[in-house]
Amino acid sequence: MIFGVPTQRTVREEKYPQTPVITLSVNKGKGTSKSFLLNKKAVELLGLPNEGATVALSFSDNIFIANGNQAEIPEHHRIRVTKSGLRKFSDKKVYDYIVNLLKLDDTAENEFQLSSVNRVVGEPVVFEMSLIKEDIKYENNEENIEEIEIVDEEIFPDSIESEVVA
């Protein structure tokens, strides 16, 4: 016999378990947070501690993210990361800037892969955020297929046809 109400939770499997990815959540409208979700590999790559973790973003020629706890990053540019469960951070200004900069559809999740960049001495360790583009899938939609009526079966005159075949 089991006591209590059964949980309705399901275990969420990561879409990219071996790749460091940050996902921009769907914009659910006014009054909701505009958050960035970090998968486990992204948390590991950034070296985020469980307590007091922050990140910082840079927008030079590309979008870069860094562990905000590095001494080279000014305090006012640090964004707090949640400390338990699904690791994420929220910042409306940064979210809107990225969506507008890259002309993203904020009605769907947008995923970014993190990759290492060469470190410049005296600068913080940063990682480039590259948009992951889904492969376009083509479906066979038979409703949109039209029959083509053959008007003239003989396209080439006999002389041209024999030259083409020969």
Predicted confidence (pLDDT) per residue in 71-127, tens digit: 999 999 999 999 877 899 999 999 999 999 999 999 999 999 999 998 888 888 999
The residues, ordered by sequence, that sit 6+ positions from 72 with a Cβ below 8 Å of its Cβ are: 122, 123, 124
What is the three-class DSSP state of 76? helix
**Among 82, 98, 101, CA closest to 37:** 82
pLDDT value for 150: 46
Q: Model pTM greater than 0.85?
A: no
